Amino acid sequence: MDLGIKGKRALVCASSKGLGLGCARALAEAGVNLVMNARGAEALEASAQAIRDEFGVDVQTVAVDVTTAEGQAAVLAAAGDVDILVNNAGGPPPGMWSDWDRDDFIAALDANMLTPIAFMKALLPGMMERGWGRVVNITSVSVKAPVPVLGLSNSARAGLTGYVAGTSRQVAGSGVTINNLQPGLHATDRAVSLDAGVSKAQGISMEEAKAQRAATIPVGRYGTIDEFGATCAFMCSQNAGFMVGQNVLLDGGATNTTM
Ligand code: NAP
């Protein structure tokens, strides 16, 4: 399918690996030039070069922590007038409700709510002035159905979702759409570290922990970063111009709800 976005420019935050990389690759396949980001420069440059080689698009890299003010300034300076923004950052650590104090919540809010809001605040005015833009925030299934050990994520991402619900309606008339993409379990490093948590807590092997978690998904497996990226690219396409303020759940059917 022609997504109608060839030649556009996208900032994809936290994209050297995992879901962000899946989004960067799918946008590149659609002919979109990229600004990619992660903290680790080596993996970031390797992923960027693989994308240049495979898809022939222009890729700039900015190796900084997006959750810091300095990191955001560096990314925004490189991004300039991007047409597409994919917000992403690492997720907060798991734990018990009684573990977390104010500093833990501030860190989670910074990473998974205030950072995407800062990027939207900086980049939406240009998109609105030019009459076209797409924002996709990578959030989590935990907004729809809480993951009890991820209380920090449940909280911060719910806050971002509330912000997007209202803001998306305020900017839609300028040709700019904002939507959230909610991953369920996907085969990434993050999933491996959560498998390790289950393995440790239950005294079972990593294979058993993974099989146990995969068995909760009607599809019977974890999602892939290619499937996730393709959905993100569609949400950034010309065809998705009527999709506003939505929370698109990609979880292989794991969340047992009618709507
Ligand atoms: P991942 O495989 O661990 O990849 C994370 C990517 O983000 C890496 O490229 C990492 O590179 C980069 N990154 C992390 N923190 C960053 C920061 N502060 N600044 C810049 N780059 C940063 O994670 P993932 O599975 O793709 O998950 C992405 C997001 O989706 C996370 O917020 C996660 O909680 C959420 N999520 C994932 C799943 C899942 O099953 N995978 C499910 C629900 C929600 P560096 O480490 O080099 O910075």
CB of 80 sitting under 6 A from ligand 1 = no
Q: How far is the CA of 90 from the centre of ligand 1 (A)?
A: 4
Q: Of ligand 1's atoms, which has the minimum distance to the CA of residue 141?
A: 43
Sign of CA dihedral 180, 231, 189, 25: negative
- H or E stretch including 151? helix 151-171
Determine whether the shortest distance from the Cβ of 190 to ligand 1 is under 6 A. Answer: yes
Q: Which residue of 12, 15, 19, 68 sits with most ligand 1 atoms within 8 Å of its CB, as the best mutation to test the pocket?
A: 19
* Residue 240 beta carbon below 6 angstroms from any ligand 1 atom: no
Q: What gap in Å lies between CA 184 and CA 207, rounded to an integer?
A: 19
Model-level pTM? 0.97
Q: Please, what are the averages of pLDDT over each run of 10 residues along the chain (259 residues)? A: 96 98 98 98 98 98 98 97 98 94 97 98 98 98 94 97 98 98 94 88 93 95 97 98 98 95
Residue 147 to residue 200: CA distance in whole angstroms: 17
